[in-house]
Structure 1
Amino acid sequence: MDAPLPLPVQRAMHKLGADISLARRRRHFTQASLAERMGASLSTVRRIEKGDARVPIHFIARALHVFGEIQALENLLDSAHDDIGLTLMDARLPKRVRTKPGTSGAL
């Protein structure tokens, strides 16, 4: 049995679904035409727009691609901008770097 989704995850999924629905309607796509463009079923599009977290992520990626927004997925957790990860990594850096005996230390 799966653990229940945390409330922030539920909210994010519902917002994403609503945003996809809005993007679709702004482009004057029906749910059926979006499904066809995505290579998905109509029920999949309906589930995405309802914020169903059980929809595989590749369908969300396909919807983003149809809307010309796939870079949003690519940049979700860009490691170069992962402030928490970079801070944790920097906290583990040595205070000083010493050369090993018998090495020059120069590049």
Structure 2
Amino acid sequence: MSKASPALDALPPAAASALRKLGADLATARKRRRESLKAWSTRLNVSVPTLMRLEKGDAAVSVGVVATALWLLNRQGVLADAADPKEDLGALEAEVQQARRRHVRRVDGGKTAPAPVGQHERNSET
């Protein structure tokens, strides 16, 4: 058995919960297809114990195994969309804050003040 990764020890509870749900959902999908652990593990090219760990939501299971399991269900698209930049609200907020810092106006003796919200949008429409 390999050494435990510090990243796995620091896994946020929300991420661990999401992995447990994913594992349970993958187990349900396998059972609905009436596939045994042995047959499904063969299709995934993993051992039965690894498949059992996957279905329990073990974070140490390879992302490649997860991707293959999703592919077997024809659900690989959800993995491809997981970090879609257009859904990254944190990065969008950072870009908005950066744009606000670039667009400051000068007041009273050279001090700066943030441009009023929406000023840039009004000026760009004209």
TM-score under structure 1 length normalisation: 0.79
Tell me the matched-pair count.
96
Which position in structure 1 is the counterpart of 2:119?
none
- Residue 9 (structure 1) aligned with residue 28 (structure 2): no
Evaluate the alpha carbon distance shift between residue 4 and residue 84 of structure 1 in structure 2; reply closer, same or farther with a 3 A threshold: closer
Distance 2:31 2:78 in 1: 19
Task: State the Cα RMSD in Å.
Answer: 1.7
Which deviations, in whole Å up to 9, do the C-alpha atoms of 1:6-29 show, x marking residues without a partner?
Answer: 322221221111011011111221
Identity %: 30
Which position in structure 2 is the counterpart of 1:92?
98
Question: Which of the pair is proportionally richer in strand?
Answer: 2
Q: How far apart are residue 5 of structure 1 and its match?
A: 3.0
Q: What secondary structure is seen at the aligned counterpart in 1 of 2:17?
A: helix
Higher relative contact order (CA 8 A, sep 6+): 1
Distance 2:83 2:10 in 1: 24
Distance 2:95 2:10 in 1: 31
Gaps in structure 1 of 5+ consecutive residues: 97-107
- Residue 68 (structure 1) aligned with residue 92 (structure 2): no
Distance 1:61 1:18 in 2: 15
Which position in structure 2 is the counterpart of 1:55?
61
Distance 2:58 2:34 in 1: 23
Moved more, 61-70 or 28-37: 28-37
